[in-house]
Amino acid sequence: MKKPRVMLIGAVGSGKTTLAKVLNNEGPDKVRKTQALEYSACSIDTPGEFVENPSYYRALFATSLEADAVIFVQDATRDRSVFPPGFAAAFSKRTIGVGTKIDHPQADGERAKSFLKRLGLNGPVVLVSAFTGEGIEEVRKILNWD
């Protein structure tokens, strides 16, 4: 069976590219700012501007058709969410919430979870750290990547 493909969306700097690399078994080492849609065999990484600016929503919906699942990334160190309420319900795919940077001293996992639960996800919410690896295996399982 072909490995399902995942699209990652979330704010600028929320950790999408780092998460994609770690899920793909590459190190979390320095990543450059994502300027365009970046396709790999099993993931589609998106620039944060795409969710921060509603004029790009159509591009996100269209691109999601090429994915099997969409991960909504919430930076657990941030006290705000860039996603409109119910946003996940606009995608006709599996929708998963991931709270990132849970290793960080300023991270608040419960706050990240509560932001993600407002999105109308049809799948679970997981807290992860790309640096320590916490939660990464759980995300791979949810994606049927193992």
| Interaction site with ligand GDP (CB under 6 A) | 10, 12-18, 31, 34, 48, 100-101, 103-104, 129-131
By CB under 5 A, is residue 46 in contact with Mg ion?
no
Per-residue DSSP letters for 69-137? EEEEEEETT-S---SPTTGGGGSSSEEEEEEE-TTSTT--HHHHHHHHHTT--SS-EEE--TTT-TTHH
CB of 99 to ligand GDP, least distance (A): 10
Q: Mark the segment that binds Mg ion (CB under 5 A) among 3-11, 34-42, 79-87, 113-121.
A: 34-42
Q: Which does 135 bind (CB under 5 to 8 A by kind): Mg ion, ligand GDP, none?
A: none
- State which residue, 16 or 93, has the beta carbon closest to Mg ion: 16
Q: Mark the segment that binds Mg ion (CB under 5 A) among 31-39, 59-67, 90-98, 104-112.
A: 31-39
CB of 70 to ligand GDP, least distance (A): 14
Could you say which of 7, 9, 10, 17 contacts Mg ion (CB under 5 A)?
17
CB within 8 Å of 7: residues ≥ 6 apart: 43, 44, 46, 63, 64, 66, 67, 69, 70, 71, 93
Could you say which of 14, 34, 81, 95 contacts Mg ion (CB under 5 A)?
34
Angle 58-19-36 from CA coordinates, rounded to 5° = 40
- State which residue, 94 or 101, has the beta carbon closest to ligand GDP: 101
Q: Please give the C-alpha separations between residue 1 and each of 5, 44, 57, 67, 118, in angstroms, as whole numbers.
A: 12, 19, 31, 15, 33
